[in-house]
Structures are given as C-alpha cells and as structure tokens.
Amino acid sequence: MNIKEFHRKKYEILQKFKGKKIGVLCGGTSREREVSIRSGNKVFSALKKIGLNAKLIIIEGDFVGEILKEKIDVAFVILHGKPGEDGKVQGFLELLKIPYTGSGVLASSCGMNKIISKKIFIASGIPTPPAVFIYRYENIEEKIKEIKKMGLPVIIKPKDEGSSIGVEIIREENNLKEIIKRKREEYRDIIVEKYIKGKIVTTGVLGTGKEAFALPVLELRPLKREFYDYYAKYTKGETEFIIPAELEKETYRKLQEYSVMAHRSLECKGFSRVDGVVSEKNEIYILEVNTLPGMTELSDLPAEAEKAGLSYEDLVLFILNTIFDENY
C-alpha cells in the first residue's frame, strides 16, 4: 500500500482496529531502554488520539508475564535493542498468535546482528564498507593484521547494540590492540569497519516485499560531535536535519533503491530505517538496517514520513496496518 492509497482507505483501516486492545510494548532491558520508553509514549499517545484502545506496556524484564497479564489483541512493538529488536518478543507473540507490528523473528535477529546483516548485504550486491569481524574466540593479533591491510581510520562497533552505543573511531595504529581488547571484553563479538568520511544519511522504508518503498532521504549533520553518536541522536539541538538530503539526483535515487534492497534482503516487514553514508567521492555505502527504528520527537523516521505526507498519527496507523502484509 502506498501513501496515496493509505489516505484513501484510512477510515477503513481505522475500523479494523476499533474494539481491539493494542499493547504498545516498550522499555526492555537494553541500554536503549529510555529511548524505547520515549518512543512508546509517543506511539501510545498517537493511538489514543486517533481513537483506538491502547495500553502502554513498559517491559521490565519478565516480558512473558507482563504481556500475558494484559490480554492484548495486537502488539505494537517499539522495543529498541534486546529483547525486542533481536526477535525474542516476536517469537513469543507468534506462539500466542498475537499479531504484531514490524519484522518477524528471522529478520529481527539478522538486522540486530551487524555481522550477519553485512554478510547478507555483500551476498545481495548492496554496497557496504569493508570490515573485519572479530569473534570472542579469535586471535586479536591475526585480526589486527587484517585491519592494517584494510587501512585506518576504522570504526569499531559491537555486533548487536543500537543507537551508536559502543561505537568508536580508531585513527592511530598504536591504539588498535588496546581498544579491541576493551571492546571485546565488554561486547564479546565486534566488527571493525573501514571509516567512510562523508554525508551521514538515513532512509525510512515502509511496506513489505514487492510493495516496500523508500521515504525521503534524511541527511544528518552533527554540529559538535565527530560522528552521529548517542548524544547527537537524542539531544535536541545537537544535530542539523536536512530533508531531503543534499545529494545529486542520481545518487539520491540510487540510495533509496539500495535502502529498499537492504530492507528486502533481510525480509523486513512493515517498516525499517536504513542507515548509510555517501563518501566525498559520491560513493554510496549501506551501514545497517534498524528493524525497530526510533519513534521519539527527535527520531528520523517520523520526520521522513512527514515530508512524504504522513503525520505522526498517520505513520503509526500505517505501521499498525502492515501486520496484514504478506508480500515477501
């Protein structure tokens, strides 16, 4: 369903959910808990505003008991990080036969795992920066040799964290071993990726399979930080948002195309946000797919949707309706 069709059928879509209890699942136990609660509160308010029966469920730890207790008919999942973005909650909801928004178990777990998703991008012909994967059991010295061949600077990331948590740029060779050891002790498996200097871009994707489409591309310019880190993401006034992104016409089109390809390659459902960078040589690189992107007042996806003609409430209803998508 495209945006024009959504507006034409909005009343009909709304009627599908009248009388159903919609549980907004947020919180969780990850480092993104507070952001998830902010997203959850915004989604909950939007559902109430459009006249639907919503219940805010802030997950504390025992998501099994907390979900069972509320006896919900539909779940709007907005849990950033674990246990919602890695597929655990989705698996439980499927066992209960509760329809839910967003990607399924496989797409969620693959999207959360930056190593697996990068391997899928490469196999799918999607441009992505070169990288070295360092698992907890591997020899660091051997991996450093691979990194040196790739060339510095590099950016180091945990395998399965979001919101730029644990991300660090390494410019000096003599810092490599110490930082890798520290990161692996904290996060176990890590990814060391070639740092691409350029424009930070992000593209929301709505829909599923053949009906998936890209929203306007958003360019992110941190005003005081070296890159788009956690502080720049969630602190008002720290980042300049440019929409549509200031890119050459063909680059812009190709970036949207690759973003939809990335969404489809992981078999994402309903909505996602694809992060990338356009180098100073105008080369496109896809970094990762966020299967449960932020929905706060500062988040990228709602801003992109608004530019495309969907208000925040419209976006929430659009996402809710994608539980019926079967277009893989």
The residues assigned a catalytic role are 32, 163, 234, 273, 275, 288, 290, 294
By DSSP bridging, strand 131-134 and strand 190-194 are: antiparallel
DSSP state, residue 309? T
The CA distance from 54 to 98, in Å, is: 15
Strand runs (DSSP E) across 175-314, as ranges? 190-194, 198-206, 213-222, 239-242, 271-279, 284-290
- Matching residue, tokens 């539980």: 323
- Cβ burial of 31 (10 Å; 0-12, 13-18, 19+) is middle
The CA distance from 28 to 206, in Å, is: 24
The CA distance from 214 to 255, in Å, is: 9
Task: Evaluate whether 215 touches 205 at the Cβ level (below 8 Å).
Answer: yes
For the beta carbon of residue 252, count every other beta carbon within 10 angstroms: 20
**Structural element, H or E, at residue 15:** helix 3-17
The CA distance from 62 to 149, in Å, is: 46
The CA distance from 140 to 284, in Å, is: 30
> Using a CB cutoff of 8 Å and minimum separation of 24, what contacts does 247-250 make?
247/199, 247/201, 247/217, 247/219, 247/278, 248/282
Task: Evaluate whether 30 touches 160 at the Cβ level (below 8 Å).
Answer: no
The CA distance from 84 to 43, in Å, is: 16
